[in-house]
């Protein structure tokens, strides 16, 4: 009787073992199927994003075309649409939108975006010299306008957007202009302080730069 029971128990254990192995195999194949599907889905999302970006860049080009042909209103509409659709604003768009804003007689907005381009590209960017010229014109018009107190429509300012700093992802710190030193001019002579925002080379990461222009970058050192 005991022997019979033992034999039965052994059979039962073997059966359980088989079922467990089968279950493990099933789970394994479900898992690998799931992983394959996820990879495909990720690839699909990547392709969709690339296609969306390419379409936006084409739209941006058409905006430049309209601007160059004097249809500033149409260009403005296109640039605004791109601004509100991209995840982070391409640096060339800061130049185009700044220049077109001049033509739209939105001088403060023009100065703001051209400044952004100059901050991002320094004096060596493709449009740096033009950006400096357009900014000077916008500043002159802005001063005239200020004296006449003209009513203006709500302007679109760059601090509300996330700016793409380009492939290096680095920007010369606008707080110290890359010197890593801030000079406070006082009655008893100048005071020199280490810039609390950038690294020793006077450089900010793109993330830090975007925070700084919104006044949200925390100083690294306690500078008093």
**Contact residues for Zn ion, defined by CB under 5 A:** 173, 175-176, 195, 197-198
**Residue where the block lists tokens 């649409």:** 81
> Within 10 A of 138 (CB to CB), how many other CB atoms are there?
26
- Give the whole-angstrom CA distance, residue 147 versus residue 44: 55
Cβ-contact 106, 152 below 8 angstroms: yes
Min dist. Cβ of residue 119 to Zn ion (A): 12
Min dist. Cβ of residue 91 to Zn ion (A): 20
- Give the whole-angstrom CA distance, residue 199 versus residue 183: 17
Q: Would you say 11 or 220 has its CB closer to Zn ion?
A: 220
Q: Would you say 56 or 203 has its CB closer to Zn ion?
A: 203
Q: Would you say 111 or 198 has its CB closer to Zn ion?
A: 198
- 221: closest CA among 190, 162, 176? 176
Min dist. Cβ of residue 129 to Zn ion (A): 25
Q: Would you say 111 or 173 has its CB closer to Zn ion?
A: 173
**DSSP states along 188-201:** TEEEEEE-SSS-TT
Min dist. Cβ of residue 190 to Zn ion (A): 17
Min dist. Cβ of residue 172 to Zn ion (A): 8
> Within 10 A of 29 (CB to CB), how many other CB atoms are there?
10
The CB-side HSE value for 74 (13 A sphere, CA atoms) comes to 12
Q: Would you say 75 or 173 has its CB closer to Zn ion?
A: 173
């Amino acid at each position: 009787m005991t022997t019979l029971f033992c034999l039965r128990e052994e059979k039962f254990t073997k059966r359980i073992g088989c079922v467990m192995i089968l279950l493990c195999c099933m789970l394994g194949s479900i898992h690998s199927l799931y992983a394959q599907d996820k990879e495909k889905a990720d690839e699909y999302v990547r392709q969709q994003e690339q296609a969306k970006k390419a379409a936006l860049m084409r739209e941006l080009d058409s905006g430049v075309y309209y601007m160059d042909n004097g249809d500033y209103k149409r260009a403005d509409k296109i640039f605004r649409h791109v601004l509100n659709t991209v995840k982070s604003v391409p640096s060339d768009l800061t130049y185009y939108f700044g220049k077109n804003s001049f033509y739209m007689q939105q001088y403060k907005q023009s100065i703001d975006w051209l400044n952004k381009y100059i901050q991002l590209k320094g004096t060596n960017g493709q449009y740096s010299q033009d950006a400096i010229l357009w900014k000077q014109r916008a500043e002159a018009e802005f001063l005239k306008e200020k004296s006449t107190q003209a009513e203006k429509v709500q302007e679109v300012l760059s601090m509300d957007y996330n700016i793409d700093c380009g492939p290096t992802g680095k920007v010369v710190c606008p707080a110290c202009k890359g010197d890593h030193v801030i000079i406070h001019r006082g009655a008893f002579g100048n005071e020199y302080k280490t810039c609390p925002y950038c690294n020793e080379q006077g450089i900010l990461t793109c993330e830090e730069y975007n925070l700084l222009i919104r006044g949200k970058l925390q100083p690294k050192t306690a500078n008093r």
